[in-house]
């Protein structure tokens, strides 16, 4: 009898973590690697948020909390959804988890049975299909294209839906592409979903505040109120407030789903860190000027990276609407050889040889379900980004 669970055979290790491990191995050899593989803001948590956490500790807010979160935070979440997204949720319709991934996992665990299908647009965040598989469901991929700016079209969604479909996972702005949906684009998707009442929407809005130019952010339950009774609207403080290590994700949705997620969480982790929750109260209710300031910095970085990559031989980099990623195509380099004679047959070959030749760590697009592309996180300084892009240009030009 095997000791390890069969479910583990359905799960692949994280590609981003694998790239980080290769980077560390090269650094151990004394090489200076520019790491553009991790999705984490390089900014520090705002001082007012830190001070709120310190004050909570001093008040003795260090005990167990209710499973779904402290009431002040759940009220702040409901207020945020009303203020920023025109969504009317009672505080009892909210839940707090240990990061956005925890929220997503609990929602899937609470709803999926063997054979249930979850539609996931490609490219996708690497954890979506693995979480679906761990929870006993079947991921079904709806392909997007670079020509459509990596956005799900109605025809692709319609083709992916079957009587077994239980969820659509919709991530806007997207990790890995940075693509974000306009209100009109969401309405087209919503019209398809209205024809299939068994399909719920799990909308991952984690990068909501990182949108650029005059783009107007919308979430699907706001665009189509008829979907609110089968939508879980997920968000968190990790990206916009540079609070990745605080581990706070949250969501709002129909009360029966929230209660089911609470039941799962009660036997799994129980309540999230009390101190982190009080910090999140301040993040949501306090001054928001930090968000706009950092967004401007990210936009400048995006523009630099897109410009420099589009000057590289064989690379085509669209301009994303949000997040802090670009997802360029390296199709023009497939089939070429490195100076040592290695043939670039896949995007994974491209990123591997780039790391070995120029010490730039990026993630291959096939890990996100769509290649030949690669993902760059521009959540680092312009100085490092400029140097990394010069190295990518040099590597691309060296291929024959």
- Of 313, 355, 306, the closest CA to residue 330 belongs to 313
How many Å apart are CA 354 and CA 375, to the nearest integer? 13
The topology (CATH level 3) of 6-44+290-394 is: 3.90.1150
Whole-angstrom CA distances from 111 to 75, 105, 199 are: 25, 10, 12
DSSP state of 148: G
> Residue-wise pLDDT tens for the chain (400 aa)?
889 988 888 888 777 777 888 888 888 898 899 999 988 899 999 999 999 999 999 999 999 999 999 999 999 999 999 999 999 999 999 999 999 999 999 999 999 999 999 999 999 999 999 999 999 999 999 999 999 999 999 999 999 999 999 999 999 999 999 999 999 999 999 999 999 999 999 999 999 999 999 999 999 999 999 999 999 999 999 999 999 999 999 999 999 999 999 999 999 999 999 999 999 999 999 999 999 999 999 999 999 999 999 999 999 999 999 999 999 999 999 999 999 999 999 999 999 999 999 999 999 999 999 999 999 999 999 999 999 999 999 999 999 9
Do 258 and 264 touch, CB atoms closer than 8 A? no
* Beta strand pairing call for 34-35 and 360-361: parallel
How many Å apart are CA 361 and CA 73, to the nearest integer? 38
* Domain extents in the chain: 6-44+290-394, 63-285
Q: For residue 158, what are its two tokens?
A: 């319609």
Model confidence, pTM = 0.95
Q: For residue 131, what are its two tokens?
A: 């979480």
* Beta strand pairing call for 94-97 and 34-35: unpaired
How many Å apart are CA 349 and CA 55, to the nearest integer? 50
The topology (CATH level 3) of 63-285 is: 3.40.640
């Amino acid at each position: 009898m095997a000791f390890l669970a069969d479910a583990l055979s359905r799960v692949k290790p994280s590609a981003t973590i694998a790239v980080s491990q290769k980077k560390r191995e090269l650094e151990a050899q004394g090489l200076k690697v520019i790491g553009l593989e991790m999705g984490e803001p390089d900014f520090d948590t705002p001082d007012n948020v830190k001070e709120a956490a310190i004050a909570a500790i001093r008040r003795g807010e260090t005990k167990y909390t209710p499973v779904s979160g402290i009431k002040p935070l759940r009220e702040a979440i409901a207020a945020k959804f009303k203020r920023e997204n025109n969504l009317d949720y009672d505080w009892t319709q909210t839940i707090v988890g240990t990061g956005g991934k925890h929220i997503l996992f609990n929602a899937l665990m609470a709803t999926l049975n063997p054979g249930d299908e979850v539609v996931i647009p490609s490219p996708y965040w690497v954890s979506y299909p693995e979480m679906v598989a761990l929870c006993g469901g079947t991921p079904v991929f709806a392909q997007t294209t670079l020509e459509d700016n990596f956005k799900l079209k109605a025809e692709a969604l319609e083709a992916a839906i079957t009587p077994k479909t239980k969820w659509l996972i919709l991530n806007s702005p997207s990790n890995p592409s940075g693509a974000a949906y306009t209100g009109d684009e969401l309405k087209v998707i919503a019209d398809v979903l209205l024809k299939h009442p068994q399909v719920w929407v799990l909308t991952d809005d984690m990068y909501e505040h990182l949108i650029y130019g005059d783009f107007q952010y919308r979430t699907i339950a706001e665009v189509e109120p008829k979907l609110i009774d089968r939508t879980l609207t997920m968000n968190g403080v990790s990206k916009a407030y540079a609070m990745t290590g605080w581990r706070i994700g949250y969501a709002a949705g129909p009360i029966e789903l929230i209660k089911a997620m609470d039941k799962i969480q009660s036997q799994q982790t129980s309540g999230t860190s009390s101190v982190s929750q009080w910090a999140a109260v301040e993040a949501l209710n306090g001054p928001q000027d930090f968000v706009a300031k950092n967004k401007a910095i990210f936009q400048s970085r995006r523009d630099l990276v897109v410009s420099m990559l589009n000057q590289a031989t064989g690379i085509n980099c669209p301009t994303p609407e949000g997040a802090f990623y670009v997802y360029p195509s390296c199709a023009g380099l497939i089939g070429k050889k490195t100076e040592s004679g290695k043939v670039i047959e896949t995007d994974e070959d491209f990123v591997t040889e780039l790391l070995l030749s120029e010490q730039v760590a990026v993630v291959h697009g096939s890990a996100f379900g769509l290649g030949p592309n690669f993902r760059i996180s521009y959540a680092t300084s312009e100085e490092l980004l400029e140097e990394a892009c010069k190295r990518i240009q040099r590597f691309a030009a060296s291929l024959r």
